[in-house]
Structure formats: C-alpha cells, structure tokens
Amino acid sequence: MTDRPRFSIVIPCFNEAAYVTDALLSLRKQDFDGVFEVIVVDNNCTDETADIARDFGAVVVTEPVPGVCNARQRGTEEARGEIVVSADADTVYGRDWLSRIDALFRGDERVVAVVGPCEYADGPRWGRVYGRALFGAVNGVYRLTGRAVYASATNIAFRREAWTGYDTGMTQGGDELDQLRRLRKRGRIVYDHGNPTFTSGRRHNRGLVYNLFVTLPVHYLLTYAVNRMAGRRVLGSAPAFRDPEGSFEAAVR
C-alpha cells in the first residue's frame, strides 16, 4: 500500500495550458525528500491543461461548478496528504519551498498553517513594486503582532485535520482571506516572508489605474465583503486574466 503523502498540492485550473507546465516542472524539482502528490482540478478547461497534468503524473479531478473556491474545495476533498497546500497554475516554486514549509510544521505541533508571499515574476514594473510593498506590510504586521493578516493563495499550507472547508459562496478572496480567518480559529498560523512563490503578473496587464480602482476595491474587497455578509454569492468573479503569449521566465532560487 502506498504511504500517505506528507503533502497534497492542490492546483485549480481553468484553461492554464500555457502556464501549468512550468508550475509542474518546478514542483518536480523540489528538494523535499518525502512523499507528496499534486492534484490538478479541471474547472471546465477547454484546452490541454488536464492532459499536460496527467503527463506529469498529477492526479486530475473535475469540478464542473465554476469558481476557484469550488475548485479548491474539490481538490482538498480528494487530498490524501497530512498537509494540503494551496497553489496556482501560473506560479513557479523555489527548490526548497516545500522543505521550508515542512520544517516549520515539524518545529511546532501547534502550527495549523504556514503561509507566505508571492513575487510577480513578470509584467509591468509597478506590479512588482506593488507586490513587494503589499507583502512588506504584511510582514511588518506579523513581526509586530504575530498575526498573519494576508497571504497569497499560491502559498498557503494547512494541516488537513484543521481544515473546515472553503466557503463556495465566495469568489476571489475566499481562498485567501476567508481561509485564513477559518484556520486562525484552529491554531497558530506562521507567515514565512522568506519563502515566496513566483507568479505571473498577467493580472496587471490592464494597467495601474484599473487595478487600483477596479480590481482591488471592486472585484476583490467589495465582492468578498458583500458575499460574506450575504452568506451566498451575490457578486460574481472578476474576469479571467489570460495571456495568449503563454509562459514566463521566472528567477527561482
């Protein structure tokens, strides 16, 4: 019988054929010497995403209800690992990424989650500055208070036994802000600022003004707040960001 994996890495996908190869290659190159599985959730893909994932040996499951929270819910339900990791298809991971996460969990049994930042690997310069500023502030709050107020959904690991589910009435933000809120009730969350993921800056291609005055306040903060207060999905997801040019070169440690 196959040993239970230490980690289950869950990657929700909607038409990510241009990026998922780089993500899976970076996971294949991890220096973690334990057992881990990769679960790719096909969230109504019409391209070759699922076939690429199977070729890499990933477990592919299907979630027909659209939405990232539905996809992460389905993937986590299928997870066999002791620790589930929320990841993304347009993101690559440093070689020691899993090893660092594992060490923090092993260092304190009270830790229910280990989370971290992301760095934008491409896209406009302002986007990279924005990312550094955002997670610099998150790190500052953590150092002062010990509270992880935010993390990238590309970089959230939690003990399977501490998980109480995703709120599938949520859209963007539900897999980050709401999941942190739920995990915080179960135990200690460690924020590791020195263990980032490297993600595509394609979401910034509509420009600084659009992101500051539409994406952040409307598609993210307002949508999260309204849907949480209503207890159901009142406002829908932001438009999907897709780059027809495909993959990116990321500087990975």
pLDDT in tens, 52-109: 999 999 999 999 999 999 999 999 999 999 999 999 999 999 999 999 999 999 999 9
Q: What b-and-e string marks burial along 92-107, b requiring 16 or more CB atoms within 10 Å of the CB? A: bbbeebbeebbebbee
Instruction: Kindly state whether residue 178 falls inside one of the protein's structural domains.
Output: yes
Range of the domain at 47: 7-230
Instruction: Kindly state whether residue 189 falls inside one of the protein's structural domains.
Output: yes
Instruction: Kindly state whether residue 251 falls inside one of the protein's structural domains.
Output: no
In this predicted model, which residue has the larger pLDDT, 206 or 114?
Answer: 114
So what's the pLDDT on residue 2? 60
CA dist 180 and 174 (Å) reads: 9
pLDDT tens-place string over residues 30-52 = 999 999 999 999 999 999 999 99
Q: Mean of the per-residue pLDDT values for the chain? A: 88
**Of the candidates 11, 180, 25, which has an alpha carbon nearest to the alpha carbon of residue 94?**
25
pLDDT tens-place string over residues 118-131 = 999 988 888 899 89
**Of the candidates 196, 197, 200, which has an alpha carbon nearest to the alpha carbon of residue 241?**
200
Give mean pLDDT, residues 130-140: 95
Confidence of residue 16 (pLDDT cuts 50, 70, 90): very high
- The CATH number that applies at residue 213 is 3.90.550.10
Instruction: Kindly state whether residue 82 falls inside one of the protein's structural domains.
Output: yes
So what's the pLDDT on residue 212? 66
Instruction: Kindly state whether residue 247 falls inside one of the protein's structural domains.
Output: no
Instruction: Kindly state whether residue 20 falls inside one of the protein's structural domains.
Output: yes
Instruction: Kindly state whether residue 246 falls inside one of the protein's structural domains.
Output: no
Beta strand 83-86 with 156-159 is antiparallel
> How many domains is the chain partitioned into structurally?
1
91 has which bridge partners?
199
- pLDDT at position 208 over 90: no
Instruction: Kindly state whether residue 133 falls inside one of the protein's structural domains.
Output: yes
